[in-house]
A and B are shown apart, each in its own frame.
Chain A
Amino acid sequence: MSIIELEGIYTAYEGDDKPIIKDLTLHIDRSEYVVIGGPNSAGKTTLLESINGLVKITHGRATVCGFDVGKSGHEVRKKVGYVVQNFYFDPFTPFTTEQVVIMGRYGRLGLLKRPSEADYEAASKAIRLVGIEDLAQKTIGTLSGGQQQKVMIAHNLAKEPEVLLLDEPFSNLDFSAREFLQGILQDLVKRGTPIVMVSHAFDGLPDIRIHLVVMNEGRITKDLVCPAESVEEIIRETSFSKRNSESAAKRRSHGIRSGFIAPGSARSR
């Protein structure tokens, strides 16, 4: 049984009459490194938030870590880490890096329970793993975007998740930081924690087989396993061919044939 099983799911945001994700089926096993690609507004972030139950699944069946996401979204979120895409912490945010990282454990603890020594140890381990020991006592709002991103990754690693979802985790990071963090993610995969990552940055992907999912308009247009070096090319090809076929369809609907140049246009002159 796969750790993530999505069967014909539809999801929609509150108030929207059109679903964002339409009839999507996806199975993810343990030890898989999944990259979700595709153009903007393809539904990539919505897919991640459907997996952990932050967005409501209106139709279909979704099981994650053995829990039905619709009925037990809260239980799913206790086990699934999620590095969100957009966050902003103002300079007055009164929490240090250390405090933010330990917060990653709070969901697992449940209401009213205090973090134990083991929780603090897990947080320290995550801080050391990501290499942000020097930032531990600094308030998060005073850190750079890249440093904040590392803190949020450590926050999720401290959780010791069974699945790790990441939405554009490398957008603020330089190449060496990306490579370093990719190494951490690869280790997680080796230890049986699947990674599901939405990204537009494919440099530094680990040299392993990647489960690539390409999305467009809320549907999966490609679902295959490929070497890391092919990921960017396949995504580009899929998106490019899709865009080409769309513009060709648009041209056809306007009565413009390919290669036909109207008299008086720049090229005919």
Chain B
Amino acid sequence: MLEPLIQNNVVCHAVEAMVFASITCSILGVIISRMNLSSIGFTMSHAAFAGASIGMFLETSTQIAAIAFSMGVAALIGPVSDKAKMAADATLGVLFALSMAVAIFLISYMQYLGRGLSAGSLLFGDVVSLYREEIYALAAISLLSVLFVLFFYKEICAIMFNMKIALASGMRVKVVYYILLFIIALSVALCLNIVGGLLIFVWLVTPASIASQFCNNIKSLFIAAPLVSLLVSAFGVWAGFEYTLPIAPLVALLLTGTFGLAVLMSSKRKVTTRMH
């Protein structure tokens, strides 16, 4: 897609991947952060990591395995846990521990078998070795996230404002919440190859947190978060290639640094000293 602008194929794929992943994760991140669902993003990212480990162990597609496992976890967090009347915290705690245990167990076992050499990419991502199909998949999920927000904007706003008040006003809160869970699962699984299971959480939460330091209304949050994420990620890719640095951890560090700066600069924390 960006070939006319960027001649180098590897760099071009990396930039495209970063663009789509930034948009997807930061848009969903705005919703996750406002709804205080960070633990869902956290659990989901580790579920994708566990799924990919299973795929690697079974010598099948890591991406399909990651999608399947994350979708399963989304179902357990949402509909199944609702039916079983499980507290969300308990479900998330158990699923996070399960995901980590499965992933670490399989990676350790593969290392013991001498097959775990490429497991590092699951942890930290490998943005330079993406296939064209993976970029298309990222573009598709990016579009899906944008469409989700556009179509369900009214419902998303009400849920982000207050879940109980939205429910009391007669909205179909659960439907939107479940769709959100499955889109998060799909996005996290598809972004796994870029930043890895351990770092994807940074993309989900940090851009939205940076934008919230400056934005007072919801529309500007949905625009500013992807924009910040896009700029920082693109800079990270450039710096990574220019100085031969690991790209995903570099982008994570840059985003965290930007968040620190945003907190320092935020006018929302300034106390006026004016008397009149």
Chain A positions within 8 Å of B, measured between CB atoms, are 14-15, 52, 54, 74-80, 82, 84, 87, 89, 91-96, 99-100, 103-104, 106-115, 139, 152, 155, 159
Contacts and interface: CB of A to CB of B under 8 A. Distances in A.
B221 A94 contact: yes
3 closest Cβ pairs, A-B complex: A107-B170, A78-B170, A77-B170
Given A74-B170, A103-B165, A106-B154, 12 more contacts: A74-B172, A82-B169, A94-B212, A94-B221, A99-B157, A104-B169, A107-B170, A111-B155, A111-B176, A113-B154, A115-B154, A139-B216
A87 B162 contact: yes
6 contacts: A54-B167, A82-B168, A87-B162, A106-B169, A113-B154, A114-B154
Nearest to B169: A107
B165 A84 contact: yes
Contact of B161 (A103, A114, A159): A103
A111 B175 contact: yes
B161 A93 contact: yes
Nearest to B222: A94
Nearest to A103: B158
B7 interface: no
B172 A111 contact: yes
A94 B216 contact: yes
Q: Is the interface of B mostly helix, strand, loop or mixed?
A: helix
Interface string B181-225: 000000000000000000000000000000010011110110000
A95 B157 contact: yes
A80 to B, nearest CB: 8
Interface in B210-246: 212, 215-218, 220-221
Contacts of A103: 157-158, 161, 165-166, 169
B268 interface: yes
A225 B216 CA distance: 48
Contacts of A107: 169-171
B161 A95 contact: yes
Nearest to B87: A15
B105 interface: no
Contacts of A96: 217
B276 interface: no
A77 B168 CA distance: 6
Nearest to A48: B168
B161 A52 contact: no
Given A77-B169, A139-B217, A92 B268 contact: yes
B86 to A, nearest CB: 10
Contact of A100 (B152, B161, B220, B221): B161
Interface centre among B34, B85, B151, B152 (most CB of A within 10 A): B34
Contact of A92 (B154, B169, B212, B220): B212
A152 B161 CA distance: 12
A78 B171 CA distance: 8
Contact of A112 (B152, B158, B162): B152
A114 B155 CA distance: 10
Contacts of A91: 268
A113 B217 CA distance: 21
Contacts of B151: 112
Given A93-B161, A94-B212, A115-B154, A106 B166 contact: yes
A100 B212 CA distance: 18
Interface string B25-63: 000000000100000000000000000000000000000
